[in-house]
Chains A and B, each alone.
Chain A
Amino acid sequence: MKSKVMLIIVLALLLALVGTSAAQSTTVLRVASTAGVTTWDPALSFSTEALYMANIYETLVRVNAPGADSEISPVLATDWSSSEDGLTWTFNLREGVLFHDGAPLTADAVKRSIDRAKAISGASFIWLPLESIDVVDDLTVQFNLSYPAPLPLILGSTYAAWIVSPTALDAVDADETYFEAGVAAGTGPYMLADYTPDAEVVLAQHPDYWGGWSDGQFENILISIVADAVTQEQLLRGGEVDLALRMPPSSYQSFVDDEAYNVATETTLFNYVGFLNVLRAPLDNQAFRQALSYSVPYEDMIAVAVEGLGTQARGPVPDGVFPFSEDVPQYSFDPDVAQRLLEESGVDPSTVTLRMTYAAENTIEESMAPLLKDAWEETLGITVEVEAILFGQQWQEAKADPAAAQDIFLLLYWPTYSDAGSDNLLSMFRSSEAPFFNLSYWANETFDTLVDDAIVISGTDPDAAQAMYTEAMTLLVEDAPGLFFMDVGTWYAVPTYLDGFAYNLNYPFSIDFYAITLAQ
């Protein structure tokens, strides 16, 4: 009898405990994201914390998604002009803007923020053309360049271009770890309210935000850091979060079929390439490299690895960003041509064993690797060994001793700012004595010259620069030191009770929470 009473009490307690989550209101927008925080220092930031930085800090201008009325929108700057030679740019700043700590936006804050980013940022290379910054008056700032680069694109970068409060800059001058305790001081719509490493980031409205606030916007943004895509999906479906920023590609169709969600597919600037180590035989043979390129099952790869959310790449510059060009040639899966090229190369396939590595943490590369292995072994009769290792190890191996490194290196790449000429082409295929991302170790003087010249004139004569880049990319694809697999897309399932969600491919890690409102 006693045990039955106990059982009833326990069951009653359990039933009392069970409940559901609170109804949706504008108090808080709950988001699940994989975005960890490498640093809270806006100058050092060069990773996934861009999700938070983009809502806390602002840049002078913003680069719009393709299809917008204008390429650039003003943010902290209201208007700008450049000299005829493209070497001097003057920006007028917005009046009445306050940082989260109450300090006003000034030209001096802009100069100090960018000077600091240029000096210490991992993305400091974007400031290569910048010679100096002059403070003309409190709200006017002048940039002096060494060559006419497209400055607004650089100023709109998602890294190394945030404008920071002078008070915080003073503090970080005194203590370089100042930001790491979870301190932020920008002009953005949201302030950093709380941060639990690897677990949670809480953003709260900046009451004095220059853009103002209206009904329906969220007072707080609560981002749970959830590493697992399946868990994110379950949280969204269970109503425990309002947005899940990474879900399994295989779940796409089920959300499309669900009326409770608006599903949007987007192109991104994420581009998959495979470096062919041209220092190692037989990859030093152009015809053999082309044979490999003709035996890549491009369509199958897109269907399997990204569930159809992607397109075959045209070189290393993804569709949607300068200097992408439809004129750059593509290979196709053509076993006959591949066989002919293999014969031309004079390579005996039975003697060839290629070692291919991919980043173990990248599930798309994990799906690509066996498809490539099968296709090459079946089409060309060579042997391919596939090895999954962590990206850091893979990269380290490639750089340690190029001649002994892996034969094929799969890589996911994206431009740091909206100019893939001065990033993707320069970083991945321009020759240098100490290769950084040029891990095919390819060196071609004509390509180098074309890219170098195009970078210098891209600010003043983008058409001529585009022509040079196209020529360089054509040369690159034909010589095939890399395999150009695909530009991948992404998708989002947004509950119908939310409005304003938008993805801008120029800011691949960021979502503008200010634009999101509760549907009326």
Chain B
Amino acid sequence: MRKLEYTLRRLLLSLGVLIGMTIVTFVLTRVVPSNPAALYLGQRARPEQIEAITQELGLDDPLPVQYIRYMNDLLHGDLGDSLATKRPVTKEILSRIPATAELLVTAIVIAISVGIPLGVFSAQLHGKPADVGVRTVSIIGVSIPQFWLGLILQLVFGLWVGLFPIAGRVDSTLRFSSPIEDITGLFVLDTFITGNWIAFKDVSLHLILPAITLAAYPIGLIARMTRATMIEVLGQNYIRTAEAYGIARRMIVYVYALKNAIIPTLTVIGLTFAYSLTGAFYVEIIFNWPGLGLFTARSFLNLDFPAIMGITLFGATGYIIINLLIDLLQAYLDPRVSLD
């Protein structure tokens, strides 16, 4: 019951945060010296056309009136039309979510599968050369610019070695030989479900380089956090007691110690997941990955206000939900965490 109350209270607070966020974003996008009507029509529109579209879009109304109209539309699920693509922003965002989700989930799975074992390994060899090695790798992972890493991976594994495709989500020519049946929008899953193995191979290959690029930062972060908490946990009395009882080292480390050490890492994973959404901007541009990041970058470059508003709202909602889920998960895993 307490968890339900807590969840409801957090959701209510989140609503306030979201409304505040819409006001800030709306004002910011409107004070930038630019004319949305001119942007809507393209660089070489004539003055009379700009005038007509200004009236049609209500851009000559006072800012509060425009904001109320926007919020009213928002409550009806309408985020407006993109100035660049002329399509509804809701549709644009929804159509790009699967591509980004596929990339993001793969990157996080890679980050967790590599980061946690690295952290545990490093903690066990605390102070030894292997630990220094892991810490160095972590620092490189955290500090290396993603766009640079992406280009290097493309160059080495795409162009020189020829192991992986250089860019894109799928070899587009497959539409003529092995078309992908769109079921979930997640190509790896769709091709697996339908047994389209040629396409499955192709989309999996396309996923590897961008996912590794996106995973580099979380790998470093997760490894460092896991290492730090594991060192702390491994020094505690109950671990020594377990060792005294002769319980296998692997059991102590991966079951007794890791379960307690993982809790702070979970928060990091949650935040990293949200952070990776912004990291996806660079990765999607470099790898021409047709997801939200590419759409966001183009929307900012085009000053596409409705799209910027929609994406910000979407990103903030995602961030709030992920944080909430992580908090609830922490409370579930650690009874000492209070939800009051």
Chain A residues near B (Cβ < 8 Å) = 16-22, 27-28, 30, 36-39, 46-47, 122-125, 177, 180, 194, 196-200, 202, 220, 222, 224-228, 230-231, 234-235, 237-238, 240, 361, 390-393, 395-397, 400, 416, 434, 436
Most chain B beta carbons < 10 A, residue from A20, A199, A222: A199
Contact call B34/A393, Cβ cutoff below 8 A: yes
Contact call B298/A227, Cβ cutoff below 8 A: yes
Contact call A240/B176, Cβ cutoff below 8 A: no
Query: B172 contacts the other chain (Cβ, under 8 Å)?
Result: yes
Contact call B158/A390, Cβ cutoff below 8 A: no
Neighbouring B residues of A124 by C-beta, 8 Å: 46
Contact call A198/B290, Cβ cutoff below 8 A: yes
The distance in angstroms between the C-alpha atoms of A20 and B161, with both chains bound, is 11
Q: Decide: A390 near B172, CB < 8 A? Known: A46-B42, A125-B46.
A: no
Contact call A231/B286, Cβ cutoff below 8 A: yes
Q: Which chain A residue has the least Cβ–Cβ distance from B85?
A: A197
Q: Which chain A residue has the least Cβ–Cβ distance from B35?
A: A396
Contact with A along B70-114 (1 / 0, CB 8 A): 000000000000001111000010010000000000000000000
Other than the given A19-B205, A46-B45, 15 more pairs (CB < 8 A) read A46-B42, A122-B41, A122-B42, A122-B49, A125-B46, A197-B92, A198-B290, A198-B298, A200-B290, A231-B167, A235-B166, A237-B159, A390-B303, A396-B33, A400-B33
- Considering only residues 171-204 of chain B, those with a C-beta below 8 Å from chain A are 171-173, 175-177, 201, 204
Neighbouring B residues of A234 by C-beta, 8 Å: 154-155, 158-159, 166-167
Q: Decide: A36 near B301, CB < 8 A? Known: A47-B42, A224-B168.
A: no
Contact call A122/B45, Cβ cutoff below 8 A: yes
Neighbouring A residues of B32 by C-beta, 8 Å: 393
Contact call A22/B33, Cβ cutoff below 8 A: no
Q: Which chain B residue has the least Cβ–Cβ distance from A21?
A: B171
The distance in angstroms between the C-alpha atoms of A225 and B290, with both chains bound, is 10
Query: B163 contacts the other chain (Cβ, under 8 Å)?
Result: yes
Neighbouring B residues of A37 by C-beta, 8 Å: 85
Query: B133 contacts the other chain (Cβ, under 8 Å)?
Result: no
27 contacts between A and B (CB under 8 A): A17-B201, A21-B171, A27-B176, A28-B176, A30-B173, A36-B84, A38-B84, A47-B42, A47-B43, A122-B45, A122-B49, A124-B46, A125-B46, A198-B298, A200-B172, A202-B172, A222-B172, A228-B285, A231-B167, A234-B158, A240-B166, A390-B303, A392-B302, A395-B38, A397-B33, A416-B44, A434-B47
The distance in angstroms between the C-alpha atoms of A30 and B172, with both chains bound, is 9
Contact call A238/B39, Cβ cutoff below 8 A: no
Contact call B162/A238, Cβ cutoff below 8 A: yes
Which of these, B43, B95, B205, B287, contacts A18 with CB under 8 Å?
B205
The distance in angstroms between the C-alpha atoms of A194 and B172, with both chains bound, is 12
Q: Decide: A19 near B286, CB < 8 A? Known: A47-B42, A198-B85.
A: no
The distance in angstroms between the C-alpha atoms of A37 and B298, with both chains bound, is 13
Most chain B beta carbons < 10 A, residue from A16, A196, A227: A227
Contact call B167/A226, Cβ cutoff below 8 A: yes
